[in-house]
Structure 1
Amino acid sequence: MALRRTAFVSVFPLLVTVVACVPQDGTPKVANTAPSAPAQQSIAAAAAPPAPATNKIITDLTAPRSAVGTATYGCGNGRAITIQNLGSSLRVIEPDGATEEFVASPANQSSRYQEAATHNAIVIDGREALVMKRGSTPRTCKR
């Protein structure tokens, strides 16, 4: 008799806990975060105007840019270059006024650019630009 009572006292609370954790409507409790409301309230809520949506910033990287972005990078020794971001290409304006066009290489990204004729290249990394020109040491320029 005492053994039966001990088994009942130790198993019964476990069964009550398991039954309490299982939702009665068949959905998991984690996913069932909305409190159950009477049907009449849900009908009234459906007739009410929707709440204003919060402003979310959505960046579409596939959309063409509407404006040309321009930034000036200091490369040391008092020299600075101006880089115009044209979307899939860059235009680099040297201090002496010379310009070069660099296309994205490969075409589906926006950090590595190469000039086809001379194979000069630019890598944009945050606020830095690594400028590599044939016959000279690569230089790091900072915005």
Structure 2
Amino acid sequence: MRLRRTFRMALAIPPLLAAAACAPQTSAPKLGNTPAASVPLAPAASEPTARQPRTATYKCTDGSVMTIENLGTSVRVLGPDGTSSELPASPANQTSRYGEAHDAIVIDGREALVMKGGASPLACKR
């Protein structure tokens, strides 16, 4: 009886070891089992996204021109008519989405999407 059990275990162990060796062994963090300190908070330097300059002028599809001044935790939008409005980051740790109430701006590289309450979204480029 003992010999039969040993023989069955000897037949079962090699396929199990082979299956374990075939499992991917990556060092990529798995969702939910990494400490918060090891998760990068900023995009890598090799990513192609351009960082928002301190002050940039955008030409919009409707022919207007606007200047967006990046203040860090908010942006100041200077319209073609001289009016200005300040929009905080939304959520607070964002560097590309700004807005409050019914107005918002999403900055993506050299493009900005401007949304004002009651009006169609407006695409603009630097």
TM range (shorter): 0.5 to 0.7
The aligned length equals 76
Structure 2: which 5+ residue stretches go unaligned?
1-41, 43-52
Q: Which has the larger radius of gyration?
A: 1
Note the alpha carbon deviations across 1:70-108, whole angstroms, 9 max, x for none.
Answer: 000000243110000000000000000000100000001
Aligned CA RMSD, in angstroms, stands at: 1.8
Q: CA deviation at 1:109?
A: 1.3
Identity between Structure 1 and Structure 2 (%): 63
Structure 1: which 5+ residue stretches go unaligned?
1-60, 62-67
Note the alpha carbon deviations across 1:12-63, whole angstroms, 9 max, x for none.
Answer: xxxxxxxxxxxxxxxxxxxxxxxxxxxxxxxxxxxxxxxxxxxxxxxxx6xx
Q: Which residue of 1 aligns with 2:55?
A: 70
The runs of at least 4 aligned residues of structure 1 exceeding 6 Å deviation read: none
Give the whole-Å Cα distance in 1 for the aligned partners of 2:64 and 2:118: 18
Question: 1:130 corresponds to which letter in structure 2?
Answer: L
- The correspondence of residues 99-138 of structure 1 with structure 2, limited to 5 A, is 99-115=84-100, 118-138=101-121
Which of structures 1 and 2 has the larger relative contact order (alpha carbons within 8 angstroms, sep 6+)? 2
Per the normalisation by structure 1, the TM-score is 0.50
The answer to whether structure 1 residue 141 and structure 2 residue 124 are counterparts is yes
